[in-house]
Structure 1
Amino acid sequence: MEFKNLLLEVSESVATLTVNRPQSLNALNSELLNELECAFYQLELDPEVKVVVLTGAGEKAFVAGADIKEMATMTPLGAHQFALKGQRVLLALEKMKKPVIAAVNGYALGGGLELALACDFLYASENAKIGFPEVTLGIMPGFGGTQNLARLIGPKRAKELIFSGKMIPAQKAEAWGVVNELFPAQELLAKTLETARGIAAQGLIGVGYAKDAITHGLDMAKEDGFRYEAALFGVLFGTADQREGMAAFVEKRKANFTGN
């Protein structure tokens, strides 16, 4: 499928998906959300893609939020449907079996931060800034931000960021645990792709099951999470990747995983 607002490149089993509306700082509108949803399903089904990197076009923004011009004229029902659409798209991203890394190359605000939080983890440029400015517009986050941020950094810090509408620098976001690692802007994408290629070389069934265990285990009681982990662990011993990985270790050679 061809996209109007996205760029997609696949190399060495890694897909780089770039939000490409630099004239509006990559703001999310309904058309772009529809394209993202299609892209996530397409990447999930593409056997050539093992890891996804998500970033924004230009030097200023990852995604600077939802498109305020579109939202300004929404009715209450329209706004509710827009929020549900955004949540559906971001849940599709969260539920992808393949790892997704956000390369936050500038402003990640509002819906843009929600998009980044839906990824498995985040790298950011040293000049990046994050925040939820919705309260300055008389509204609140609507694409899952209140839920995902509180689960990630705790309710008190989440409330501080959301209630104030402030932007915080990448260094503070890293200290709070929102961002995994910072890089100079000119190195961000290369470093992110380096990590992505390293993950792509692993047994991707195991990686996918580990993602499943972490994601769903957070919503379970701890002992239930342990049982779920053990069940997935056992299933992996019926795969060709498990046999290849352990044989390679014993034979002191590099494993050749096939995803089977």
Structure 2
Amino acid sequence: MVQSGQWSVQGRTRMIRGGQTIRFDTLNYRVDDGVALIELNRPARLNAVNSVMSRELPEAWRLFDRDPAAIVAIVTGAGGKAFCTGADLADLPEMITDEAGAPSIASIRWTPHQNHVWKPVICAVNGMVLGGGLHFVAECDIILASDEATFADPHVSVGLVAALEPIALARRMPMGAVLRLALAGNGEKMSAQDAHRLGMVDEICAGEELIERARRLADRIRRNSPSAMAATKKAIWSAKERGLHDASTDGWDAIVAHNQGHDFAEGIKAFGERRPPRWAAYAGTDEPS
């Protein structure tokens, strides 16, 4: 389905855009007025990530990143009962191996951060989140949750190491809260209210209002300079991995570089002329994954 001003890719729907054929079997994807909606669409399996979804998620993030018409994304789950319950143990995601034949961390590329996407992404948690589903909560930019959402990490209860998700969550939350979630396994279920208190979730709203609230936030975000937002997001996330001096130096370099571009001059000119700015299109940075 292709219409003026919007387009969509949904399960078992083929679409050709710019000479490229896209097909998603486990995701719903559409862009409307600058906002991309990426919906995990395996409700019968509680939106668990299987081998197909694990391959399709990087494709969806690449599609979003390279589309100049897509300025901000919302990622959520279909069905309402679960946002994402991690890897599907009945159909595990395929592992990419390194030169020595060992499984590589590059096998897990489910989130915008893991795919080096610097456009803004809102995560709308509309149900339970288990295990690997915490990747999205830890690595999207702004986290909204329904008041009935719950969070748990059952890895250790089934003999698996809980490492990647807690490590990422520790950049948002107090260490003790992360360790409690990771070590208690099935014995610990965190409510949306506790997740908000501890910094995992940025805002709670009624379930029936969740997507509309995310859309209103996305609508505010999409009006800003796409290139300025990308540079801002990259500077902030990168600072989590570097010392203050190096992060500040890199941030200053990003400011100087952006000030040589179109949107810097256009923003100042539009402000002086009291009119909406006409931002340049932005289609990602083609960083290696």
TM, length-normalised to structure 2: 0.82
Are 1:198 and 2:212 counterparts?
no
CA deviation after TM superposition for structure 1 residue 203, in Å? 0.5
Q: Are 2:84 and 1:63 equivalent residues in the alignment?
A: yes
**Distance in 2 of aligned mates of 1:82 and 1:28:** 17
Post-superposition offset of 1:69: 2.3
**Structure 1 residues 21 and 83, CA, compared in 2 at 3 Å: closer, same or farther?**
farther
Matched, 1:248 2:270: yes
d(CA) in 1 for partners of 2:171, 2:235: 16
Match of 1:15, SS?
strand
Change in 2 beyond 3 A, CA 1:61/1:82: farther
Q: Which of structure 1's runs of 4+ aligned residues deviate more than 6 A?
A: none
2:169 counterpart of 1:161: no
Per-residue CA deviations over 1:88-136 (Å, capped at 9, x if unaligned) read 3436545202111110000111111112222112101011001211112
Give the letter for the 1:147 counterpart: I
Distance 1:146 1:154 in 2: 11
For residues 195-253 of structure 1, the C-alpha deviation after alignment (integer angstroms, 9 at most, x for no partner) is: 11211110111100001101112211111111111111111111111111111222222
Query: 2:147 and 2:46 mapped to 1: Cα distance?
Result: 18
The partner residue of 1:102 within 116, 123, 126 is: 123
Given that 2:171 and 2:240 are in contact with CA atoms closer than 8 Å, whether structure 1 keeps it comes out as: no
Shift of 1:68: 2.2
Contact 1:19 1:63 in 2 (8 A): yes
Superposed CA RMSD: 2.0
Q: Specify which of 251, 254, 269 is matched with residue 232 of structure 1.
A: 254
Q: Distance in 1 between matches of 2:50 and 2:160?
A: 17
Summarize deviations over 1:51-87 as a string: whole Å, max 9, x none. Answer: 111000011011122112235xx9xxxxx7386512x
Residue in 1 that maps onto 2:45: 24
Q: Which residue identity does 2:180 align to in structure 1?
A: E
Matched pairs, number: 252
What's 2:143 paired with? 122
The SS at the match of 2:91 is: helix
Offset, 1:258:
2.3
Whether the 8 Å CA contact 2:135–2:165 is kept in 1: the answer is: yes
Give the counterpart of 1:182 among 204, 210, 222: 204
Structure 2, unpaired ranges of 5+: 1-21, 96-101, 283-289
Q: Which has the higher helix share?
A: 1
1:207 matched to which residue of 2? 229
Aligned to 1:77: none
Structure 2 residue 56 is matched with structure 1 residue 35: yes
Q: Identity across aligned pairs (percent)?
A: 31
Structure 2: how far apart are the matches of 1:259 and 1:47?
5
SS across alignment from 2:87: coil
Structure 1 residues 246 and 257: alpha-carbon distance in aligned structure 2, compared to 1, 3 A threshold: same
Q: Which moved more, 1:53-62 or 1:37-46?
A: 37-46
How far did 1:9 drift?
Answer: 1.1
CA distance in 2, matches of 1:82, 1:35: 18
